[in-house]
A and B are shown apart, each in its own frame.
Chain A
Amino acid sequence: GAGVSQSPSNKVTEKGKDVELRCDPISGHTALYWYRQSLGQGLEFLIYFQGNSAPDKSGLPSDRFSAERTGGSVSTLTIQRTQQEDSAVYLCASSLGTLGDLGGYTFGSGTRLTVV
């Protein structure tokens, strides 16, 4: 597609349930990123994938969070046993490479997750 596609756009889940968020990056983009934005806050780095390299998971807030990227394309962010503090907008982005060329990321519109 022309842009980064995320699904679902909205997700309401009960505390304790698992959720999966999906990201379809721009075709040909080798780098894929997950960020989240809590209300009134900036974007918080979660994880990024670059080509076939091991992902940088240093931003994942707990072991309840995991992500994978299959075939160098689609990525899924999984949150197990959701908590209310997980409520946020989860943003996926992709880029041709990492920021060495200062080209910036292309973001999707995000998934608004609400844990009740």
Chain B
Amino acid sequence: DQQVKQNSPSLSVQEGRISILNCDYTNSMFDYFLWYKKYPAEGPTFLISISSIKDKNEDGRFTVFLNKSAKHLSLHIVPSQPGDSAVYFCAASKPTNAGKSTFGDGTTLTVKP
């Protein structure tokens, strides 16, 4: 039973446009959500996070939205740049076990110049 799902394996957008990456989860106990970016042959890099007390968190070009009732979060990148091309993972954890994160399978984003 996959508790964190990224249903789109890949996404392609034009430079300057918005990229929207989606993530769904099934476990209502999840309370912390994070996004990571991964380039080939490197480890994932932390991007942005949100807890359930908020529905939006913004950091520069990156915004994460959380819809707790729908168990859905999304990452918006505006404007998208070619350097954003990478695999994006969402991750979730429970407040009672914040050291253990459950990751989705990732979405490969390609930003075309």
Residues of A that sit less than 8 Å from B by CB: 4, 31, 33, 35, 40-45, 48, 50, 56, 58-59, 91, 93, 98-100, 102-110
A42 CB, nearest partner CB in chain B, Å: 4
A106 to B34, CA, bound (A): 13
A57 CB, nearest partner CB in chain B, Å: 11
In the assembled complex, 28 residue pairs joining A and B whose CB atoms fall closer than 8 Å, in A order, are: A4-B43, A35-B103, A40-B105, A42-B89, A42-B103, A42-B104, A43-B89, A43-B91, A45-B100, A45-B101, A45-B102, A45-B103, A48-B99, A56-B100, A91-B43, A93-B43, A98-B98, A99-B34, A100-B95, A100-B98, A102-B32, A102-B34, A102-B51, A103-B49, A107-B43, A108-B43, A109-B43, A110-B43
Interface size on B, as a range, is 20 to 34
A59 to B100, Cβ gap below 8 A?
yes
Known A98-B98, A100-B98, A102-B49; further 20 A-B contacts with Cβ < 8 A? A33-B99, A35-B103, A42-B4, A42-B103, A42-B105, A43-B101, A45-B102, A50-B99, A56-B97, A58-B100, A91-B43, A99-B34, A100-B95, A104-B34, A104-B46, A104-B47, A105-B44, A105-B46, A107-B43, A107-B44
B45 within 8 A of A: yes
B1 within 8 A of A: no
In chain B between 60 and 98, which residues have their CB closer than 8 angstroms to a CB of chain A? 89, 91, 93, 95, 97-98
A99-B89 contact, Cβ under 8 Å, with A45-B100, A104-B34, A108-B43: no
B89 to A103, Cβ gap below 8 A?
no
A109 to B50, Cβ gap below 8 A?
no
B55 CB, nearest partner CB in chain A, Å: 15
